[in-house]
Chains A and B, each alone.
Chain A
């Protein structure tokens, strides 16, 4: 059974960079049939796609966040990571990592991790 687990700091200061890692177990991140992505959900609000990465390193970002987002993959560790720079309180959210098929259907989600931006 595929499992995804987010890890990283739960508290980030304004203007700093948010960094999260997703560890994939029970399957290979190098599968040619899937993308790996990040989705966030501010408290009490809806889902927002942040971006996705293919095992080869090809990336796709939400245009509204593109200038601040970097997603990378480490196939040797079966992990992929998110960096979001210059964070503000508006970036406070539960961040989910997920597996997406080639037409963006999300079939596996991590449990989510709350990241709070505050000084």
Chain B
């Protein structure tokens, strides 16, 4: 199984919106509606932000949203805040589990 493809980095100014893509294949992202997104701050364990493509766990800000089209899933963060600066990872169910390579979000 190959890792899902994410951009290495994205950036945005406070208040703006950004989107992080996650591209896989019909065997993972395209084949199941089971894409998750995780936020990881330095030295911390990842935190679940989106599951099943577009669902937010309790307690996660509604500024975070997810979607999917074909083999590509996307995470959108609106109203960027300084605290959103972190690494973001997508994952997909494939009858096992595969992660994306991660995207570093910089809030300018």
Contacts and interface: CB of A to CB of B under 8 A. Distances in A.
A90 interface: no
Interface residues of B, number: 26
Contact of B102 (A46, A62, A109, A112): A46
B48 interface: yes
A77 B3 CA distance: 34
A96 B48 CA distance: 14
A105 B100 contact: no
B98 A106 contact: no
Interface size of A as a range: 20 to 34
17 contacts: A46-B3, A46-B100, A46-B101, A47-B91, A49-B97, A49-B98, A52-B96, A62-B1, A96-B46, A103-B52, A104-B94, A104-B96, A105-B51, A105-B93, A106-B48, A107-B57, A109-B45
Interface of A: 37, 39, 46-49, 52, 60-64, 96, 100, 103-107, 109-112
Interface of B: 1, 3, 32, 34, 36, 38, 45-48, 51-52, 57, 89, 91-102
Given A96-B45, A107-B48, 10 more contacts: A46-B3, A47-B102, A49-B97, A61-B96, A62-B96, A103-B52, A103-B93, A104-B34, A104-B91, A105-B36
